[in-house]
Amino acid sequence: IRSLFLVEYDCLTESQQVVRASFVIGSQGSDKIIPCLENAAPKPPQSVRFKYDHKSKGLNISWEFPPNPQGDIKGFQVFRRKSINQPFTMIMEYDFDNSVVKIPRKEIASRTSYKKLIDSNGLNYVLTNFIDESFNKKSEFIYAIGCFDAHGLVSNFSAQFKVKYNNKKRKVDISLVSRQKAPRPYPNMFLEEDVM
Provide the whole-model pTM: 0.76
Q: Assess contact for 23 and 3: CB atoms under 8 A.
A: no
Q: Look at residue 186 in the predicted model and tell me its pLDDT.
A: 93
Q: Look at residue 37 in the predicted model and tell me its pLDDT.
A: 77
Strand ranges in 28-170 using DSSP code E only, listed in sequence order: 46-53, 58-64, 73-81, 89-95, 114-116, 129-132, 140-149, 160-166
pLDDT digits (tens, 9 = 90+) for 105-116: 777 777 667 777
pLDDT digits (tens, 9 = 90+) for 99-138: 888 777 777 777 667 777 877 787 888 889 999 999 998 9
pLDDT digits (tens, 9 = 90+) for 26-59: 888 888 888 877 788 999 999 999 999 988 889 9
Q: Look at residue 192 in the predicted model and tell me its pLDDT.
A: 66
Task: State how far the Cα of 176 lies from the Cα of 162, in Å rounded to an integer.
Answer: 6
- Using left for φ > 0, alpha for ψ between -120 and 50, and beta otherwise, residue 192 falls in alpha
